[in-house]
Amino acid sequence: MEFIAPELLAYCENHTTEEDGLLKHITRETHTKVLMPRMLSGHLQGKTLEMLVKLLNPKVILEIGTYTGYSGLCLARGLGEKGKLITLDINDELETMVRGFFEKSGISHKIDYRLGNAMKLIPEIDENFDMVFIDADKANYTNYYNLVIDKVNPGGIILADNVLWSGKILVERGKKIDKDTQALLDFNQMVQNDPRVENVLLPIRDGLMMARKL
């Protein structure tokens, strides 16, 4: 399901601050060398993330799911001079590529890139977060949320990507639901019912859930 006509999306991107050469390079490299390039955040969402960081001025951001580093760079670019991004990913095959992109950015000193299972890495982080961006395996979205919620400072933001799942969350009665779709349905409902947060689901790209901790 396309949530916006391609012509309207192009218009939005044409009226959004242009990607620089590095972000365009990451996009090209991802599409030519990496499986499932659709996982890339891309121009519109990347700029949205950067703007949110600049508006909210978080000191520590946690990203769960680095992929090829596009979203991480956008988040890190929004940080103040003393801000820090901790980004976690399980795919060590992309490490050389991602670290290379981070080094070229000139802001690698703000980025703490860690490899491993996020379910094990998150409890080892002895810091609180002002922002969390969840963009990893959908089956664990609820687990990631539960692991980070107590580490998020009051007023902090949890963002979760792909929560509209190409429209699959609109389930027809009697139709079989795959496990990832069910995981996202459960996650969205859990956030909606969580009294610890206020939330809004934004139809940006493939759906972006934003939950602000009270």
pLDDT value, residue 56: 97
The DSSP line for 60-121 is EEEEE--TTSHHHHHHHHHS-TT-EEEEEES-GGGHHHHHHHHHHHT-GGGEEEEES-HHHH
With contact defined as beta carbons under 8 Å apart, do 160 and 187 qualify?
Answer: yes
Residue-by-residue pLDDT tens, the chain, 214 positions:
778 899 999 999 999 999 999 999 999 999 999 989 989 999 999 999 999 999 999 999 999 999 999 999 999 999 999 999 999 999 999 999 999 999 999 999 999 999 999 999 999 999 999 999 999 999 999 999 999 999 999 999 999 999 999 999 998 777 899 999 999 999 999 999 999 999 999 999 999 999 999 9
pLDDT value, residue 204: 92
CATH number of 6-213: 3.40.50.150
Residue 26 is predicted with a pLDDT of 98
Q: Are 206 and 44 in contact (CB under 8 A)?
A: no
For helices 42-56 and 6-14, give the axis angle rounded to 10 degrees.
Answer: 50
DSSP letters, 142-203, are HHHHHHHGGGEEEEEEEEEE-TTGGGTTSPPTT----HHHHHHHHHHHHHHH-TTEEEEEE-
Instruction: Give the residue among 79, 84, 74, 19 at the shortest CA–CA distance from 49.
Output: 74
Read off the amino acid at residue 134.
I
Domain boundary assignment for the chain? 6-213
Bridge partners of 200, per DSSP, are: 210
Output the pTM of the full model.
0.96
